[in-house]
Chain A
Amino acid sequence: MTLSTTEAEFVAAPMCVCQALWIKRILKELGHSNGGCTQVRCDNNSTIKLSKNPAMHGRSKHIDVRYHFLRNLTREGTIALVHCGSKDQVADLMTKPLKLEAFLRLRELLGV
């Protein structure tokens, strides 16, 4: 249960990041050049800011410490949270019902 959209995104991001770390390791094992920083695109600006700067204020003070491991990774440069507009946000397909145009465009981006 989360109290704000920012927190919801902030809780969803580590799930994605864990998977990202695993995939990165596999790609490295396979000899696919990928030692650099992986971009994680997110459509919520305050989540991105929260991942960079440990701002402890009224609306974010209760967020569990384990979700803040994102900050470590951002600081190390393994992961970078980058903003992207809702237009290219393909993860929208996984979270909500979409209008037809949006659905078709994002499906195209997925490669289907």
Chain B
Amino acid sequence: MMKSNSISNPIVPGCKANKDEDGIKVDETYYKQLVGSLMYLTTTRPDMMFITCLISRYMSKPTKLHLLVAKGALRYLRGTVNFRIHYKKGGSGELLAFTDSDYAGDMEDMKSTSGYVFLLSFGAVSWSSKK
């Protein structure tokens, strides 16, 4: 992946991830290691939260389709390796919360995804994404 071309969006709206039961199976351990590393990254990169959450749903019986989505995340990281949260001076110092949910975001079991973000001094301090 060190020689891959970078992309600027880890996941595009049309991407329909599903269980893909007939797809070609890939190495489970490799896939799980990948997800594990990405999970570690979500502690400093809120923009990786959704994609990590998405690919971690298919840790058992991952297929080529899932690996492709996961590799999309890696290609995105390729171009944004040095990104971090920048907390700026000033502002009101007030805590600001945002909450949102995606109704029936998963096409298979029709469960919703809910997420929140807390901002303090122009930077995110706490975030979550949960199906």
Interface residues on A, range: 35 or more
Contact assessment for B103 and A40 in the assembled complex, using a CB-CB cutoff below 8 Å: no
Q: Check if A61 is an interface residue, CB within 8 A of chain B.
A: no
Q: Check if A24 is an interface residue, CB within 8 A of chain B.
A: yes
Q: Check if B117 is an interface residue, CB within 8 A of chain A.
A: yes
Q: Check if B26 is an interface residue, CB within 8 A of chain A.
A: no
Contact assessment for B50 and A93 in the assembled complex, using a CB-CB cutoff below 8 Å: yes
Q: Which residues of A contact B125 (CB under 8 A)?
A: 23
Q: Which residues of A contact B123 (CB under 8 A)?
A: 110-111
Residue in A closest to B86 when the chains form the complex, CB atoms:
A111
Q: Which residues of A contact B45 (CB under 8 A)?
A: 112
Q: Which residues of B contact A45 (CB under 8 A)?
A: none
Contact assessment for B97 and A112 in the assembled complex, using a CB-CB cutoff below 8 Å: no
Instruction: Kindly identify which residue among A2, A32, A90 contacts B98, using a CB–CB cutoff of 8 Å.
Output: A90
Q: Check if B2 is an interface residue, CB within 8 A of chain A.
A: no
List the interface of chain A (C-beta within 8 A of B): 1-2, 4-5, 8-9, 11-13, 15-17, 19-20, 23-24, 27, 32-34, 36, 38-43, 84, 89-100, 103-104, 107, 109-112
Q: Which 3 pairs across A and B sit closest by C-beta, in order of nearness?
A: A94-B115, A12-B114, A111-B123
8 contacts between A and B (CB under 8 A): A4-B103, A23-B126, A36-B94, A39-B96, A40-B99, A93-B49, A93-B117, A110-B123
